[in-house]
Amino acid sequence: MMASTCCLGPLVLVALGLSGAWIGNLTLLEPYRPFFITGALVALFFAGRRIFRPVQVCQAGEECAVPRTRRLYKIIFGIVSALVLITLVFPYIAKFFY
C-alpha cells in the first residue's frame, strides 16, 4: 500500500482536472533534491558492494552462490544504475531539448 502513495497525489490532481503541465510546476521537494541524490547513491553503493562481492564470501546455501542468480542480480543492478544515472543527468541536459 505504501508503494502506491507516490502516485496518489498526482492522480488526485489529474482527477480534479489539473493537467500534467501544471503538475510539472510543483517544486515543493526541489530543495531536498541533494538529499534524495545522496540517498540513491549510498543505496547503490551498498547494493553494488553486496552484489559484486566474491563468490568465496557466500555460504553454500545462499542465493549469491548460485551463478544464475548472481548474473540476474548484476543485470538488474545495471539497469537500475542506468535509470538512476539518467534521472540524475536529465535536469542538466533537458534544456538542450526545449
Domain membership of residue 19 (yes or no) is: no
Those residues with Cβ within 8 angstroms of residue 97's Cβ, 6 or more apart along the chain or in another chain? none
Range of the domain at 49: 29-96
Domain membership of residue 11 (yes or no) is: no
Domain membership of residue 10 (yes or no) is: no
Domain membership of residue 5 (yes or no) is: no
pLDDT of residue 17: 72
pLDDT of residue 78: 96
Domain membership of residue 58 (yes or no) is: yes
pLDDT (tens place) for every residue of the chain, 98 residues total: 555 666 676 677 777 776 666 666 667 778 888 898 899 999 999 999 988 888 777 777 777 778 888 899 999 999 999 999 998 888 888 888 87
Number of domains in the chain: 1
pLDDT of residue 97: 81
Domain membership of residue 68 (yes or no) is: yes
Domain membership of residue 7 (yes or no) is: no
Task: Determine the longest span between alpha carbons in the chain, in angstroms.
Answer: 57
pLDDT of residue 98: 74
